[in-house]
């Protein structure tokens, strides 16, 4: 099976873009005094992402709007997938929150006030975090000036949800949300074949699309493939078992086809590299080893095609080298 591009991002966004699933998750994790004041029937998913390019491979985010105490508010969820905590995560959050407010201000140019943002961080890690959830704790100030400096320092607190510290049975939400979070937790502790992730009572409540999404995520991780197939065969619900077996066969076929495609592509690249070196040898005699290595390090078929033309047309080998 092909490796999914940023599989954590895919399963998180597919799961929590579903509004009932997002509602259940947020209701379970936000402070009760805020949960009771949010009109959950108004929860809506906003488009776009605040993630910096440098964190796009290890973070995901979703932004929602809802009515809080009768007024508009944002709920921002940052999903952290990296294997170690970011001690400056509050600074990143502040940057993302400012981005949300700037976008809001552009859309409401006549407004003079900004809506609140409730930030929540979900940590997919294999150990507890030690980072403070208060932004002000990032600021280093002399003890005798701390109070005075605090008046000039932004401050907020974010809600931290640590999957590592949550027993599987304590993860709440819809079946899709629960199984997604269990899988995210299990992935970091090499536990994806645990019965908690393969809970049939929850699996049977998934849509076929969500079930496929879950199995694809599991299979794409670093797991024992024969043990995965045994897990699929051990599913007792007849309909679920049939769907799982069918999907497992589909995934195996995708893997075989991808292997064939990769093999064909690799063969084309090697053939082009050899043609270039052979053309240079015919025209100029011996090919310097360093030049040969440079050609063999290029894996772009279009680039290699251009170099083959250059090998045929260049006046001398130095002119060819300048094309690299």
In angstroms, the CA 134 to CA 159 distance is: 9
Distance between CA atoms of 321 and 314, rounded to whole angstroms? 9
**Tens-digit pLDDT profile for residues 76-99:** 999 998 878 889 999 999 999 999
DSSP letter at 123 equals E
Mean pLDDT of the 279-287 span: 87
pTM, rounded to two decimals: 0.73
- 151 secondary structure, DSSP code: T
Structure tokens at 98: 């400012």
- Cα separation, 16 vs 21, in Å, equals 6
Using CA atoms, how far apart are residues 68 and 76, in angstroms rounded to an integer?
Answer: 14
Q: Looking at residue 19, what is its pLDDT?
A: 97
Beta strands in 20-149 (DSSP E): 38-46, 59-68, 71-80, 117-123
The CA distance from 104 to 201, in Å, is 42
Quick one: how far is CA 106 from the chain centroid?
28
pLDDT above 80 (res 2): no
């Amino acid at each position: 099976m092909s490796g999914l591009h940023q599989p954590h991002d895919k399963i998180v966004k597919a799961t929590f873009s579903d509004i009932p699933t997002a509602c259940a998750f947020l209701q379970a994790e936000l402070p009760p005094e805020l949960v009771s004041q949010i009109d959950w029937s108004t929860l809506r998913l906003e488009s776009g992402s605040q993630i910096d390019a440098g964190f796009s491979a290890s973070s995901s985010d979703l932004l929602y709007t809802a009515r809080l105490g009768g007024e508009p508010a944002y709920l921002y969820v940052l999903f952290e997938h990296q294997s170690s905590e970011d001690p400056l995560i509050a600074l990143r959050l502040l940057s993302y929150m400012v981005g949300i407010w700037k976008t809001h201000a552009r859309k409401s140019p006549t407004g003079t006030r900004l809506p609140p943002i409730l930030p929540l961080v979900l940590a997919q890690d294999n150990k507890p975090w030690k980072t403070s959830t208060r932004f002000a704790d990032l600021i280093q100030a002399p003890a005798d000036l701390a109070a005075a400096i605090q008046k000039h320092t932004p401050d907020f607190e974010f809600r931290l949800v640590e999957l590592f510290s949550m027993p599987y049975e304590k993860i709440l939400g819809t079946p899709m949300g629960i199984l997604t979070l269990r899988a995210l937790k299990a992935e970091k502790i090499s536990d994806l074949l645990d019965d908690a992730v393969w809970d049939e009572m929850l699996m049977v409540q998934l849509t076929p699309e969500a079930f496929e999404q879950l199995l694809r995520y599991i299979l794409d991780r670093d797991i024992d493939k024969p043990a995965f197939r045994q897990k699929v065969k051990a599913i007792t619900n007849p309909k679920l078992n049939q769907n799982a077996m069918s999907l497992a066969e589909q995934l195996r076929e995708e893997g075989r086809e991808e292997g064939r495609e990769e093999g064909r592509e690799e063969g084309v690249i090697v053939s082009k590299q050899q043609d270039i070196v052979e053309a240079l040898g015919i025209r100029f005699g011996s090919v310097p080893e360093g030049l040969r290595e440079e050609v063999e390090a290029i894996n772009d078929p279009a680039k290699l095609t251009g170099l083959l033309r250059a090998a045929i047309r260049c006046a001398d080998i130095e002119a060819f080298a300048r094309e690299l």
